[in-house]
Structure 1
């Protein structure tokens, strides 16, 4: 049985506050899964005033775009390399992540990404924690926590996962892919800032016409993002799409755009619902996102 250090309640609450300064971060992303991860990587790398991206990790995914978690991870790895090249940021290291989901609640999946996360976290001073920003299945992060539980005292996890805490269910792609990993990050006591999908990140919708006006022709990455959006649907008449993954970067850039509050860490029930317990440790949950401010910031940075 894995034993995790317990962060005192007052320290945990302070750790869950917005940092209010430039932070060090790693970004864990299933980049080939949808078109929104590409936007999030660009947004993070273009937000140097608030964050320094130290490494990028390829997360596994399994849907119609992959033959399994390993294939999804490898396709994400290759897509990260492409985005990194377009942004001329080949100085940032990229690591392959897990090739499978956790086989059991206490069994990690070793990978370059998990090992690098452990190394970076353990080298961090607890007073200056490493921000671990995750926008896919949480396998790499959970594996690192199982490999070295002490990193819990040296990181803050910011994760796009699950649905709003008031939602009828939490049947969401990132959370459902690896339930062992998802349950671990809610149960272990790691400082967690949760950005839910349905009910919260769903505010972040944009359209092809908006991207044509404010992204296309503004930069090489702008043209690439426009092209990926254009190719995501056959008919763009009256169509908009959620760019989910920029939400976590938006919270780091400005908490006034992403209203949040403290909540007791929920359980994930067997039927994929949130189960609340007032005696559990606290997390921070984003409740609402001011869509216009986030996209204005993103579009300006893409054009820069």
Structure 2
């Protein structure tokens, strides 16, 4: 069984506060799985006043868009390269992630991304932790924690995963894909900012007409995001779509747009429900998102 260091409660709570300054981060994304990752990558790279993106990691995924987690990761890797090219940010390194999910709770999956995260985190000053922003299955991050548990003292994890803590279940795509990894990040004591999907990030809905007005024509990236949204449905009449993944970047840009609270880290049951335990360590959980403020900020940044 892997033994993780324990942060003193006061230090953990301090790490769970919004940084209130410019931060360094790595972004772990299953970029080919949905259309929202592309928005999130662009949002992060356009937020240079608040964050420096040091690396991009490709996360695995498996659904109708891939033949398996390895194929999903590779397609995500290629999509990250594409977004990076469009934004003219070839200076940011991109790393391939896990080709499969954790086979057991104490068995990491070796990958370029997990190894880079270990090295980058261990090179960080504990007083200036590396922010690990994850918008896919949490396999790469969990693997890095298992490879080198001491990185727990040098990172803050911001993860889009699960559903709202009051939801009837938490069978959400990012969390559901790799139960071992999801349990690990909730159990090990890593400073965790949790941004749930249904009931929280689901407020972030937009429409084709809104993107036509405020994103299309705003450079190559604006046109790409608009065309990506256009192609996601054959019928846009009375249709809107959630751009989930921008929620994590929004919290970093302005926590007032994403009200949150300290809660005890929940457990995940075998049937994918939250189990609340008042004896557990604390995490921060976002419980609402001010949709208009977030999209206003996103649109203004894309137009720059």
Does structure 1 residue 57 correspond to structure 2 residue 57? yes
1:73-222 equivalences in 2 (<5 Å): 73-222=73-222
TM-score of the aligned structures, taking structure 1 as reference length: 1.00
Structure 2 unmatched ranges of 5 or more: none
Does structure 1 residue 252 correspond to structure 2 residue 273? no
How far apart are residue 251 of structure 1 and its match?
0.1
Q: 2:288 is paired with a residue of what secondary structure?
A: strand
1:243-279 deviation digits (Å, cap 9, x = unpaired): 0000000000000000000000000001100001000
Does structure 1 residue 69 correspond to structure 2 residue 69? yes
Aligned residue number for residue 280 of structure 2: 280
Structure 1 unmatched ranges of 5 or more: none
How far apart are residue 16 of structure 1 and its match?
0.1
Q: Equivalents in 2 of 1:225, 1:292: separation in Å?
A: 18
How far apart are residue 44 of structure 1 and its match?
0.0
How far apart are residue 192 of structure 1 and its match?
0.1
Q: 2:159 is paired with a residue of what secondary structure?
A: strand
1:140-198 deviation digits (Å, cap 9, x = unpaired): 00000000000000000000000000111001000000000000000000000000000
Give the length in aligned residue pairs.
304
Q: Equivalents in 2 of 1:204, 1:5: separation in Å?
A: 36
Q: 1:283 is paired with a residue of what secondary structure?
A: strand
How far apart are residue 120 of structure 1 and its match?
0.4
Q: Equivalents in 2 of 1:145, 1:270: separation in Å?
A: 23
How far apart are residue 117 of structure 1 and its match?
0.1
How far apart are residue 219 of structure 1 and its match?
1.1
1:174-229 deviation digits (Å, cap 9, x = unpaired): 00000000000000000000000000000000000000000001111000000000
Q: 1:289 is paired with a residue of what secondary structure?
A: coil
Which ranges of 4 or more aligned residues in structure 1 deviate by more than 3 Å? none
Q: 2:222 is paired with a residue of what secondary structure?
A: helix
Q: 1:288 is paired with a residue of what secondary structure?
A: coil
TM-score of the aligned structures, taking structure 2 as reference length: 1.00
Aligned residue number for residue 230 of structure 1: 230
Aligned residue number for residue 35 of structure 2: 35
